[in-house]
Amino acid sequence: MTENEPAIRVRGLRKTYGALAAVDGIDLDVHRGETFALLGPNGAGKSTTIEILEGYRTRTSGEVAVLGVDPARGDLDWKARLGIVLQSTAEAAQMTVREQLAHFAHFYPDPRSVDEVIEAVGLTAKAKTRIGKLSGGQRRRVDVALGIIGRPELVFLDEPTTGFDPEARREFWQLIERLKREGTTILLTTHYLDEAARLGDRAGVILGGRLVALGAIDELGGPQARVPIVRWRGRDGLVREQRTGRPAELVASIVAETGGEPAELEVIRPSLEDVYLELVGAAAAADGEASGPPAASATEASAPSGATEASAPSDATEASDIEGVRA
Ligand SMILES: Nc1ncnc2c1ncn2[C@@H]1O[C@H](COP(=O)(O)OP(=O)(O)OP(=O)(O)O)[C@@H](O)[C@H]1O
Ligand SMILES: [Mg+2]
């Protein structure tokens, strides 16, 4: 593969199980050095997609190239360039953490140091413990360690932090940030949207086997989805909500109007989670109306050229009409 070729290239990918289209026509590029988060509800088709890219599942149709190779024909040299953390794994429970990692390190031409990896996943104190005796979250850390021991160019992480305590999740984030700095390409699935927002450069949302949104993490859903919401309780006792790109201006006008501090004032910037829930909710509603697929084809969130908080497109900066009033 050439320098400019994406690490992962997928065109028209389909995977059917009988009548079910688990993956229903996905087009996707993951660039070299990028961290891409694949999001979507349970059963959306994330693991099916990832496992096809890893060479673990066959596809029904479509084109796939991973590091320039069709995964259906990937040889050992190709596999050695990948790091894989499956959604669920069967561990060699009799081995200790250290033995298991040392065993796997042998399969790779240029593995990382076993002790360094054990430390990076926070298992130094458990290095001599049999894997069967670890807690669920500790076993998951072993999975992550096995995924990176071979110094992979491309890492697949399918819900890597499920079962991690909050501190372990933070440590894992640091580990991923280190891999990113080293230039590793990462394809990640997670149900933790804060994790996706923290680690991801771009994200795609899969619903019913189709990619319904694709773009930079902070542009997903389009500019309108990120416009702040100002919420306050008016003097009439009703809660008001207004979306505006100029929240300070709106707050000033509310203060001028009410002649004092507005009750319960909040300025809310929609998070990735808010945007995601809106996307999934809208697609589910559209699916309810039409009997067709859950949503139209993916739209790459177009980056407004040079857009920043201060210079977002005009439709996003104008204060819109009062959007909601509730008691
Ligand atoms: N081996 C299989 N045989 C039949 N159906 C399958 C098989 N594997 C997956 N499916 C179905 O394909 C769909 C997609 O499953 P997949 O595991 O890819 O979802 P997912 O997005 O990873 O979900 P989760 O977030 O729960 O992990 C589901 O409806 C699932 O039941
Ligand atoms: Mg899955």
Long-range contacts: 124-129, Cβ < 8 Å, 24+? 126/97, 127/96, 127/97, 127/98, 128/96, 128/97, 128/98, 129/96, 129/97
Angstrom distance (rounded) from CA 238 to CA 263: 10
Q: Domains in the chain: how many in total?
A: 2
**CB proximity list for 268: less than 8 A, separation 6 or greater:** 228, 229, 230, 231
Mean pLDDT of the chain: 85
**pLDDT confidence band for 306 (50 / 70 / 90):** very low
DSSP letters spanning 243-304: E-S-HHHHHHHHHHHHTSPPEEEEEEPPPHHHHHHHHHHHHHHHHHHSSS-SSSS--B-PPP
Looking at per-residue pLDDT, the higher value among 312 and 252 belongs to 252
**CB proximity list for 288: less than 8 A, separation 6 or greater:** none
pLDDT tens-digit profile of 31-80?
999 999 999 999 999 999 999 999 999 999 999 999 999 999 999 999 99
Q: Is the CB of 204 under 6 A from ligand 1?
A: no
Does the structure show a pLDDT above 60 at 322? Answer: no
Q: Is the CB of 190 under 6 A from ligand 1?
A: no
Mean pLDDT along residues 251-280 = 90
Q: Decide: 54 and 84 in contact? Cβ < 8 Å.
A: yes
Closest-approaching ligand to the CA atom of 44:
1
Judgement on whether residues 39 and 97 belong to the same structural domain of the protein: yes
Judgement on whether residues 154 and 194 belong to the same structural domain of the protein: yes
Judgement on whether residues 139 and 250 belong to the same structural domain of the protein: no
Judgement on whether residues 114 and 238 belong to the same structural domain of the protein: no
13: CATH: 3.40.50.300
| Nearest ligand 1 atom to alpha carbon 206 | 21
Judgement on whether residues 195 and 236 belong to the same structural domain of the protein: no
pLDDT tens-digit profile of 194-242?
999 999 999 999 999 999 999 999 888 888 888 999 999 988 889 999 9
Ligand 1: residue of 42, 48, 59 to mutate (most ligand atoms within 8 A of CB) is 48
Judgement on whether residues 82 and 118 belong to the same structural domain of the protein: yes
